[in-house]
Structure 1
């Protein structure tokens, strides 16, 4: 029987960053079902930090994460961010959505259609009725971020067990016993950072049913449009998130921005969904999609209010939720990791009380 003060279920960026923060004050063990860390959502992220992405709670978490991403002490010797920018373009029918996005946003600059086309020359100028750009949106080096957190976790004495899918979970005499990968582990605290599998982990623990919903998000890598240097283009997207595109290693990554509810699994692309999304993208540009070099999909898991679920379960003692991050998991990981360490170790929360309440699992069972 292997023991720890806290067991983290899930070795994506959420679980690893929280484990690294906790390891400064207690013994921590991470259980990862796959043979490698960050295999699912973390490894398939769009890898961009957008301050105005998400609802009010998420924007507060983005703001809280920004200083760490810029100066990731203990994780990397240099910033995890690099310049990119994010531009939203709207047709006449999308102007209301663009106005809604601007509400509560900061640091946005309004662009004319001509200015938008100057930034991304393949866009159809006559299709643009409005546009805005967030110049401060930045690429995130997700691989370096995850590797740095893993290194910090191990330096602090934390341990990782890969190939350890959880098959059993019960509590007795103040301890959780976890069966995983043919082994047994015990700890007074279990942190559910299992991403798309978080609901299944909660059912094993007889914790609250929060009805988290995994949704598939697809992407394809296309050759760069002939005759264009795309390296400095911003991420550009439709205001209603029908598609988005981003330069990626000399090529153009395009996503149909799909959100199809699915069961937890090792996600793959639905060819029809991808084709429809690429068609929507083609309506906004004048360069046709001639070839898909590769494609992939990942799962983004949402709560009913599209806000992460972070905190102790209201009915399962010692069961802590760190789930429902949706498409915001990488950029909110530093803030949520520090909040997790603060809540578990009873230290300064660092966030406003209303934000902490908005994340609490108990909000669904008042």
Structure 2
């Protein structure tokens, strides 16, 4: 029997970053159902930082996370690498382009300026765009490992192959039955990603209506003679495709969002074909070979904002879920909030105003 003050369930970037922040103040165990941390959403992400992406709350959390991600004091330097994100508008998307530029405050680019930035786009496929120059690629693997090392250095414990199969109230906390043994904790942090509603049901808690959405990606060679290393990530203004430079190749996605039960997802042939077709229509380039294909899960509650906090009357069960496609770029701020709530410390002033919007109590769709 392992007894700790806090058990964090899920060793993706949400759970790992929260556990690392909690560990200096409380005894903590990080539980992961897979053999390695970051196996699902966190290991299959495009990992961009962009304050023009997501809804208003997601953007505020990203801004609050920027200083940590950009800190040159991390081993290996900043976790952000300049990349830029180019939101591209095609014929028929004039209204979307105008609305996006107005919402973000970013300047519109003419079609020629878009083509200068990503020269493989076909001129007839572009009417203009918006460039988020501050967007950057996130070193996701190093970020996750930094959290795990910080957890260990502060005396925290990581248990992999430890799927939670049962939760029962014990005293003022919970006893968790896992495939790696029993764990008792005064507080459970539910960072189980797409499985967070299932974990809540094990504890007799109402679910929040999380939906797991599958997203597909493939990597291909760029067109012969082209060098994508200096290109920004390119994304449709309506988010029906994107591609970005990745290790000398291009990562393509059809930006699919197919609802599936929580599971270890794989790329479906149809979605792979759609990714290639949309890229070919935009660029006129038909890749000869797909080097790698995969799919990952992104989980959302109905309002597409993250959830951090406890439901009324259930202050021993803290939600940290619903990050959608913004897990890495919001993790530092969300971990700071979750750790403060888990340890009884004050939430930093710049984040305290967000607590009501992040609370699970906001979700009117909660049922038993």
Is the TM value for this pair above 0.5?
yes
Q: Which position in structure 2 is the counterpart of 1:58?
A: 58
Q: Which position in structure 1 is the counterpart of 2:183?
A: 185
Q: Which position in structure 2 is the counterpart of 1:33?
A: 33
Report the 3-state secondary structure (helix = DSSP H, G, I; strand = E; otherwise coil) of the residue aligned with 2:228: coil
Gaps of 5+ in 1: none
Deviation, 1:292, is: 1.3
Match of 2:243 among 215, 232, 245: 245
Deviation, 1:101, is: 2.5
Deviation, 1:315, is: 4.1
Question: Taking structure 1 as reference, are residues 205 and 63 closer, same or farther at Cα in structure 2, changes over 3 Å only?
Answer: same
Please say if 1:93 is aligned against 2:98: no
Please say if 1:128 is aligned against 2:126: yes
1:170-209 correspondence to structure 2 within 5 Å:
170-209=168-207
Deviation, 1:342, is: 1.5
Report the 3-state secondary structure (helix = DSSP H, G, I; strand = E; otherwise coil) of the residue aligned with 1:326: coil
Q: What is the TM-score when the length of structure 1 is the normalising length?
A: 0.96
> Does the 8 Å CA contact 1:242/1:277 hold for their aligned counterparts?
no
1:299-331 deviations in whole A, cap 9, x for unaligned? 000000000111112343400000010000011
Aligned partners of 1:222 and 1:115: how far apart in 2? Answer: 25
> Does the 8 Å CA contact 2:279/2:285 hold for their aligned counterparts?
no
Question: How many equivalent pairs are there?
Answer: 364
Aligned partners of 2:176 and 2:315: how far apart in 1? Answer: 15
1:29-60 deviations in whole A, cap 9, x for unaligned? 00100111111111111021111111110010
Q: Which position in structure 2 is the counterpart of 1:148?
A: 146
1:219-298 correspondence to structure 2 within 5 Å:
219-298=217-296
Aligned partners of 1:44 and 1:182: how far apart in 2? Answer: 25
Deviation, 1:214, is: 0.4
CA RMSD of aligned residues (A): 1.5
1:4-40 deviations in whole A, cap 9, x for unaligned? 0100000101000000000111100001001111111
Structure 1 runs (4+) greater than 3 angstroms displaced? 351-354
Deviation, 1:290, is: 2.5
1:93-112 deviations in whole A, cap 9, x for unaligned? 22222233334324x33211
> Does the 8 Å CA contact 1:52/1:59 hold for their aligned counterparts?
yes
Moved more, 93-102 or 12-21: 93-102
Aligned partners of 1:314 and 1:93: how far apart in 2? Answer: 47
Deviation, 1:220, is: 0.3
Aligned partners of 2:230 and 2:24: how far apart in 1? Answer: 39
Moved more, 355-364 or 295-304: 355-364
Please say if 1:44 is aligned against 2:47: no
Gaps of 5+ in 2: none
Aligned partners of 1:64 and 1:317: how far apart in 2? Answer: 25
> Does the 8 Å CA contact 1:216/1:262 hold for their aligned counterparts?
yes
Please say if 1:17 is aligned against 2:17: yes
Deviation, 1:278, is: 2.2
Q: Which position in structure 1 is the counterpart of 2:210?
A: 212
Aligned partners of 1:103 and 1:315: how far apart in 2? Answer: 42
Q: Which position in structure 1 is the counterpart of 2:77?
A: 78
Deviation, 1:285, is: 1.2
